[in-house]
């Protein structure tokens, strides 16, 4: 992507104000006894033994992450959204569905990124089961066999619901909680996939390519951050496709 295209994308960012972040509780970190020293640069101070984020720095890092994510989509890439903690599950699923992106809101399947060939085979197996049931191919089975197949299909659907459309490795991973979904981050690093993540004061931001320093526990905080991501990504179209259309029209 050219510098001109990056500038154009950055100029279109829609960010909440520091006051809106404050009202959502984005500024609250963890107790000072649980902090990670590498988060110090994003901390404004303490209140009642709880670290407080510098929201201006949060906004700056959020903008940086958004420009990167917009660039991924502008190049035709995909973003895998991961949020398996209870407070994030619904937000992640809804955001991914609105953006048409893959997601993981249940338990992370080991090897999702590092053993993608096996994951692809399991996805194909699930697809085959669904097609067989729909076509009536199961009619030759007895009731017990049908029940077993349906149970197997339901379990696979629960595990892989959000990645059923994933045909190749995603270009980027977005994670809600660095500690809860640390396996996902480790897998992404092993295969060279950049990571964008919300980093609370107990997180190690050096593990993340684009950290967003913020409260990763409070529901209102997660909502405003994820809503901001959706708002800034939902209208992004691949630049290459636009260029081709311009070429055809010109």
180 half-sphere exposure, CB direction, 13 A CA radius: 22
Tell me how far apart the alpha carbons of residues 82 and 9 are, in angstroms, rounded to a whole number.
24
DSSP H helical segments within 30-85, as ranges?
55-74
Which residues are CB-neighbours of 79 under 8 A, at least 6 positions away? Answer: 69, 72, 73, 99, 101, 102, 170, 171, 172, 173, 174, 196, 233
115's tokens: 């053993």
Neighbours of 4 (CB within 10 A): 8
Backbone angles phi, psi at 10, to 5 degrees: -60, -35
78's tokens: 């995909």
Paired sense of beta strands 79-82 and 172-175, if any = parallel
Tens-binned pLDDT, residue by residue, of the chain (250 aa): 444 444 444 457 999 999 999 999 999 999 999 999 999 999 999 999 999 999 999 999 999 999 999 999 999 999 999 999 999 999 999 999 999 999 999 999 999 999 999 999 999 999 999 999 889 888 888 999 999 999 999 999 888 999 998 989 999 999 999 999 999 999 999 999 999 999 999 999 999 999 999 999 999 999 999 999 999 999 998 875 444 444 444 4
> Are the C-beta atoms of residues 90 and 224 closer than 8 Å to each other?
no
């Amino acid at each position: 992507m050219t510098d001109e295209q990056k500038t154009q994308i950055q100029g279109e960012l829609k960010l909440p104000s520091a006051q809106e972040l404050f009202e959502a509780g984005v500024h609250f970190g963890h107790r000072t006894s649980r902090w990670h020293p590498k988060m110090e640069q994003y901390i404004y101070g303490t209140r009642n033994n709880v670290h407080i984020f510098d929201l201006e720095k949060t906004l700056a890092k959020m903008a940086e992450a958004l420009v990167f994510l917009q660039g991924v989509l502008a190049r035709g890439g995909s973003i895998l959204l991961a949020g398996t903690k209870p407070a994030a599950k619904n937000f992640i699923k809804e955001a991914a569905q609105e953006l048409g992106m893959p997601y993981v809101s249940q338990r992370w399947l080991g090897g999702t990124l590092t053993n993608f060939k096996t994951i692809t085979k399991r996805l194909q197996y699930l697809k085959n089961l669904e097609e067989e049931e729909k076509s009536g191919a199961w009619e030759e089975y007895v009731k017990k066999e049908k029940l077993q197949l349906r149970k197997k299909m339901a379990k696979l659907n629960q595990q892989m619901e959000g990645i059923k459309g994933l045909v190749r490795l995603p270009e980027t991973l977005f994670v809600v909680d660095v500690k809860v979904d640390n396996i996902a981050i480790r897998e992404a690093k092993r295969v060279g996939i950049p990571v964008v993540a919300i980093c609370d004061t107990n997180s190690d931001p050096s593990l993340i390519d684009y950290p967003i320093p913020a409260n990763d526990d409070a529901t209102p905080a997660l909502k405003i951050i994820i809503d901001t991501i959706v708002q800034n990504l939902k209208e992004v179209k691949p630049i290459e496709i636009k260029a081709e259309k311009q070429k055809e029209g010109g």
